[in-house]
Amino acid sequence: MYAAVMSAIVMSLLTLLVIVLIQRGRLGEVDGPLLEAARARWQAAGIDSYELELSITGHQQDEYRIIVRDGEVSSFERNGQTLQRRHAFQAWGIEGMLETIGRDLDNRRRYRLGERGPQICNLYLQGRFHEKLGYPQEYIRMERGGQASNPAISWKVTSFSILSR
């Protein structure tokens, strides 16, 4: 069991390393001003109904399809299977993704100030936001050191379309 867990962790880290090396030239460090500018663009766009497709890497690779109507996730699919656990859906709408990045930035800030604990870790954060609409097009989050339960995760928006009402 221990060997399987260690193997999964090593494979996740190697996968993330390859992703980072491939995308290094296109992604920049995510910081507070970059996130706030993206949030401002997203809010100014006023989009509350859209369809979003994501490619997620972490312990495994998944494809998500999310439909948001009037600001609420109304449909969520993972690898073509409709999911019913509604409590987790909002995290994968644009607002939820921006909130997640904000928590990661706060976590990294607290670590740099010397705080330690199970929710605080040293994070490597890279990303790219849509130039006009502000949604996160690509994001890489990697925990450096420690006993991370999900040491590396990334997502890439593969499709985004605004839905009419």
Taking only the tens place, the pLDDT of each residue in 49-76 is: 999 999 998 877 899 999 999 998 888 9
Q: From start to end of the chain, where are the E strands?
A: 28-29, 50-57, 61-69, 72-78, 81-82, 122-129, 136-144, 152-162
CATH number at 143 reads 2.50.20
Domain total in the chain: 1
pLDDT digits 0-9 by tens, 101-129:
999 999 999 999 998 877 788 888 999 99
Is residue 89 very low, low, confident or very high in pLDDT (cuts 50, 70, 90)? confident
Model's pTM, two decimal places? 0.80
Residues above pLDDT 90, as percent of the chain? 51
pLDDT value at residue 60:
77
Domain, as residue range, for 27? 2-162
